[in-house]
Amino acid sequence: MHNLNSVSSFRLILVPEWHERGCIVGRGVLLDLFEYAHRHGIEYCPTQFFAFTARDLDLAAREQDVNLEQGDILLVRVGFMKWYKECSEKSVRDAWFLDDNRESAGVAADLETVSWVWNHHFSAVAGDSLAWEALPQPSDRLCKFPRLTRTVNLSDR
């Protein structure tokens, strides 16, 4: 670890050096879907099923003036951490985590959204909820994880 006690001890650590240390480095972009929903009068609870579509992701990026580039790390905020921090009853939070059938808001688990993510060539995606996709994933959807690798050939980049 570097000691940065003074400007003279500062040494620029470049991306290749981070990579050699096993770190992930990239440009992170945030789509605040919680605020997007609020602006559009879309009401949902982060601890119940609600799926944001590829259209929502596009509109949120445009409205928030976020330029999406190849290799970006896409972060989405659905408001789960806000719910968690504001939930005053520990028993309610614990019950949600212990529920095997828990639900949560997230990104739609459908082929349109998978294509949207793929076509933007993100290096990673993450969010403020337990899963990136809305839970539970609909049973009639093509994009359950085992099928996803057969539907989209990840080696054709």
> CA torsion 49→133→81→36, rounded to 10°?
-80
26 forms beta bridges with: none
- Structure confidence by residue, pLDDT tens digits, 10-22: 556 666 777 777 7
Domain ranges of the chain: 25-151
pTM, two decimal places? 0.75
- Structure confidence by residue, pLDDT tens digits, 38-97: 999 999 999 999 999 999 999 999 999 999 999 999 999 999 999 999 999 999 999 998
139 contact partners, CB below 8 Å, separation of at least 6: none
Nearest to 58 by CA among 142, 120, 106: 120
